[in-house]
Structure 1
Amino acid sequence: MPSEPRPDDRAASASEPRPDDRVASVFRFATELVAWVATPWALASSSVPLAVLSVIVLIGLPTLFSTPGDKRHVIVAVPGFVTILLVALQVVAAVAAAWVAWHAFAAALVSVLAVVTVVMELPRWRWLLSH
């Protein structure tokens, strides 16, 4: 007698609702804003075209690529780990550019913001990894 197939753990976790990340999204957006301002600021003295390109990349990639269920409008669907990598890109850009472009006190505040953002993003990232 054949045994009944067990549901795949991944399929079971895929049906879990997206975690409420309204507070985390405030920190994520603040970090994105810092990245959008600090990165071209840090690059402008070396190359204005590179500074402009950095803004296009930092704003354009997350707008174009998203995980279904994470945003209302998905232009190009990608797996969750790609969305996580895009957020990580924003966080790293914000911190690195702040240390290059701004006073150490401001850069330290950005670093704290980045750490808080990553910690608050963890439930969403767990959910994204299941998608």
Structure 2
Amino acid sequence: MSESPNLTGQGRVASVLRFATELIAWIATPWALAGHSVVLAVFSVVALIGLPTVFATPGDKKQVLVAVPGWGTIALVVLQLVAAVVAAWVVWPVWLAVPVSVLAVLTVLMELPRWRWLWRAGGLVIQ
């Protein structure tokens, strides 16, 4: 199987946009949940940071702790994007939520080559 665009220069812009969106999700999601439950807010941070750290598709990251098929990695990225956008609209003013939404759309567009690669890597091969 070929190397993921994530590990090449082709994926650099996508990686930067994805990381920016992840940071927003890590900040805005617990902020949005803290008023309902501090435990839920803490759990959201643990899940948003921990899941992609532990689960990855072989060939998409240099180190994989627990291998998942490509669609699993795509799902984790979508989770981060949705969390960032929804939480931004819940806790931040419109003038800040709109750029977060635009960033998420740009991230999806830039992620498409990686997602195509990940989709082809859907039939998980344990190495």
Give the partner amino acid of 1:17: E
What SS class does the counterpart of residue 36 from structure 2 fall into?
coil
Partner of 2:79: helix, strand, or coil? Answer: helix
Q: Output aligned runs, 1:35-114, within 5 Å.
A: 35-114=25-104
Query: What residue is the counterpart of 1:17 in the other structure?
Result: 3
The counterpart of 2:109, out of the listed 101, 119, 123, is: 119
1:88-122 deviation per Cα after TM superposition (whole angstroms, max 9, x unaligned)? 00000000000001011100110000000000000
Corresponding residue for residue 27 of structure 1 = 17
Distance 1:36 1:75 in 2: 21
State how many pairs are aligned. Answer: 117
Q: Percent of aligned positions with the same letter in both sequences?
A: 68
Q: Distance in 1 between matches of 2:69 and 2:107?
A: 21
In the TM superposition, what whole-angstrom CA distance separates every residue of 1:47-97 from its partner, at most 9, and x where no partner exists? Answer: 110000000000000001000011111000000000000000000000000
Partner of 2:125: none
Normalising by the residue count of structure 2, what TM-score does the alignment of the two structures yield?
0.90
CA RMSD after TM alignment? 0.7
1:18 is displaced (CA, Å) by 2.1
Structure 1 residue runs without a partner (length 5+): 1-14
Q: CA deviation at 1:46?
A: 1.0
Q: Does the CA-based 8 Å contact 2:3-2:60 persist in structure 1? A: no
What TM-score, normalized to structure 1? Answer: 0.87
CA drift of 1:17 comes to 3.3
- Could you tell me which amino acid in structure 2 is paired with residue 36 of structure 1? W
Distance 1:101 1:43 in 2: 9
Q: Residues 16 and 72 from structure 1, CA distance in 2 versus in 1: closer, same or farther, beyond 3 angstroms?
A: closer
Query: Is the radius of gyration larger for structure 1 or structure 2?
Result: 1
CA contact (8 A) 2:57 2:68 kept: yes
- Distance in 2 separating the partners of 1:118 and 1:76: 24
